[in-house]
Structure 1
Amino acid sequence: MPFLDLQRQMGLDMDRWLLRQSTAQPYGNAGACHAFEREWVECGHGLGQTRARRECRPEYEDFMECMHRTKLAARLKKILEQRDKMIKEGKYVPPDYHSSQQEPKP
């Protein structure tokens, strides 16, 4: 820590860029993925980088899923592909309110 805390005096927060969810949040609420990040950091604390990568992989994957939602997007894509396939085969007809051909409401 420097003798003069220039970051705080200038209103900068350069040291917390690694922990995205741990920074100060509006209204004092915790970030959406704060719990996952905390589990990941607690798991890897004191292990060293090599061991932490191997032993804390589930916690890291949970944190990354919470941040980026890649598995959720892939699942949604599969569901929509299945829906389109069933519509094409004639096994499923979407309700009227799912199409843009509704009558306009007054």
Structure 2
Amino acid sequence: MPFWDLQRQLGIDVDRWLLRQSTTQPYGAAGACHAFEREWVECGHGLGQTRARRECQPEYEDFMECMHRTKLAQRMKKILEQRDKMIKEGKYTLPEYHRGEKDTRP
């Protein structure tokens, strides 16, 4: 914490403006990927673009996965493909609540 916080005195916050997850969120809670973005920015701070791309690649990949969920989508696709394959082979049947039938309860 700096002794004299110029940004706060002037009423501006450049850090929050530059970062996606640091902007003001509803109900004052931090963004979902705020921690990953902060780690990525802190890792690359002061390194320069070329060196930061090489050394901060894991942090960047974690941040992008949190933002876009691409690995999660690929994993879910494989799980659903395996389920469909097992259904065709007759090794698995869907539970009653997943069959799409009308509920018989009142």
Name the SS for the 1:20 alignment partner. coil
In structure 1, the partner of 2:39 is 39
Q: TM-score, normalised by structure 1?
A: 0.81
Query: Runs in 1 of length 4+ with deviation above 4 angstroms?
Result: none
Amino acid at match of 1:59: E
Query: In structure 2, how many angstroms separate the alpha carbons of the residues matched to 1:72 and 1:94?
Result: 22
Q: Which deviates the most, 92-101 or 69-78?
A: 92-101
In structure 2, the partner of 1:28 is 28
Query: In structure 2, how many angstroms separate the alpha carbons of the residues matched to 1:46 and 1:103?
Result: 60
In structure 1, the partner of 2:66 is 66
Query: In structure 1, how many angstroms separate the alpha carbons of the residues matched to 2:33 and 2:60?
Result: 11
**Structure 1, gaps ≥5 residues long:** none
Query: In structure 1, how many angstroms separate the alpha carbons of the residues matched to 2:99 and 2:85?
Result: 17
Q: Deviations over 1:43-75 (max 9, x none)?
A: 000000000000000000000000000000000
Amino acid at match of 1:42: E
Name the SS for the 2:32 alignment partner. coil
Query: In structure 1, how many angstroms separate the alpha carbons of the residues matched to 2:105 and 2:67?
Result: 38
Query: How many aligned residue pairs are there?
Result: 94
Amino acid at match of 1:31: G
For residue 28 of structure 1, report the CA deviation from its aligned partner: 1.5
Q: Deviations over 1:11-53 (max 9, x none)?
A: xx9x82x411011112211110000000000000000000000
Backbone CA RMSD of aligned residues: 1.9
